[in-house]
């Protein structure tokens, strides 16, 4: 239920010009009608997940909800975080996806590793999309997290942005307090599967310029390391 400090927040594509009418998806319509209980005339915040945030006024409070765009504010991201991640144990990926989206990670790339592939866990894309959208609404962000299908470490590295800054979560790395991510461009964090990267993979990452960083004195599970890396990034530079 929205409070005065937290207006309803929905994801709407086609936020292009003030005065235009947009039509909400069934999922967003349901959220506004059943969870937020909006009525015709109510104002809500909308984002397209691509950097635009709008105030829209609800025209028709039945599914699909329609609304008029009253204001538009576009932002370009100055820096963004990508997470390349091996498979965690069990169903821990679900909440990892939710938390990375909340922390504002730009792209989540599952990677199939020598010691563990995503297999069936990588088939949860629909569920992950729902979790990531809910996290975007909840966090009132303006950038959606891109969810990529699982791929090999080599393919993931080939898709890396030119000049990306690369970090590898590793207990043997430099203490995080001595490191700082760059505040511009793409910053990537690689996290091994629950049984760790194989030596071959570590050599590949090293040859591609990944710097090892230690996020805690204790050994972290895959999903915890991904989250700790993202929180470190968010705390360090996530202030566009």
Q: Which residues bind its own copies (CB under 8 A)?
A: 3, 5-6, 95, 99, 102-104, 138-141, 175-177, 180, 195-196, 215-221, 224, 227-228, 231-232, 234-240
Cβ proximity to its own copies: between 2 and 64 the closer is 2
**Shortest Cβ distance from residue 213 to its own copies (Å)?**
9
Beta bridge partners of 168: 190, 212
Q: Pick from 107, 43, 103, 49: which is nearest to 75 by CA? A: 49
**Shortest Cβ distance from residue 155 to its own copies (Å)?**
27
Are 190 and 81 in contact, with CB atoms under 8 Å apart? Answer: no
Cβ proximity to its own copies: between 99 and 151 the closer is 99
- Terminal Cα-to-Cα distance of the chain (whole angstroms): 28
C-alpha 229/C-alpha 216 separation (Å) is 10
Cβ proximity to its own copies: between 3 and 207 the closer is 3
What distances in angstroms separate CA 124 from CA 25, 91, 150, 212, one per listed residue?
Answer: 21, 10, 11, 30
**Shortest Cβ distance from residue 198 to its own copies (Å)?**
12
Cβ proximity to its own copies: between 34 and 180 the closer is 180
Cβ proximity to its own copies: between 21 and 139 the closer is 139
C-alpha 117/C-alpha 135 separation (Å) is 26
Query: Could you tell me the two tokens for 84?
Result: 């390349």
C-alpha 100/C-alpha 60 separation (Å) is 34
DSSP-derived secondary structure letter, 65: P
**Shortest Cβ distance from residue 19 to its own copies (Å)?**
29
Cβ proximity to its own copies: between 197 and 210 the closer is 197
Query: Could you tell me the two tokens for 238?
Result: 């996530």
**Shortest Cβ distance from residue 194 to its own copies (Å)?**
10
**Shortest Cβ distance from residue 77 to its own copies (Å)?**
10
C-alpha 72/C-alpha 83 separation (Å) is 30
Residue whose token pair is 């990531």: 132
**Shortest Cβ distance from residue 95 to its own copies (Å)?**
6
Cβ proximity to its own copies: between 113 and 157 the closer is 113
């Amino acid at each position: 239920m929205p409070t005065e400090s937290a207006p309803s927040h929905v994801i709407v594509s086609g936020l292009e010009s003030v005065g235009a009418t947009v039509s909400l998806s069934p999922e967003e319509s349901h959220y506004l009608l059943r969870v937020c209980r909006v009525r015709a005339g109510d104002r809500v915040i909308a984002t397209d997940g691509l950097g635009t945030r709008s105030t829209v006024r609800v025209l028709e409070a039945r599914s699909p909800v329609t609304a008029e765009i009253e204001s538009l504010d576009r932002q370009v991201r100055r820096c963004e975080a990508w997470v390349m991640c091996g498979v965690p144990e069990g169903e821990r990926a679900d909440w990892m996806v939710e938390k990375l989206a909340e922390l504002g990670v730009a792209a989540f790339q599952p990677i199939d590793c020598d010691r563990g592939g995503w297999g069936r866990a990588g088939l949860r894309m629909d569920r992950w999309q729902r979790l990531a959208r809910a996290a975007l609404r909840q966090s009132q962000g303006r950038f959606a997290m891109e969810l990529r299908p699982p791929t090999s470490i080599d393919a993931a590295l080939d898709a890396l942005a030119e000049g990306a800054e690369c970090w590898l979560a590793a207990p043997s790395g430099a203490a995080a307090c001595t490191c700082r991510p760059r505040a511009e461009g793409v910053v990537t964090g690689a996290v091994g599967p629950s049984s760790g990267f194989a030596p071959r993979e570590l050599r590949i990452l090293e040859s591609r310029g990944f710097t090892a960083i230690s996020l805690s004195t204790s050994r972290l599970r895959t999903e915890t390391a991904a989250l700790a890396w993202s929180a470190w990034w968010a705390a360090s530079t996530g202030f566009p």
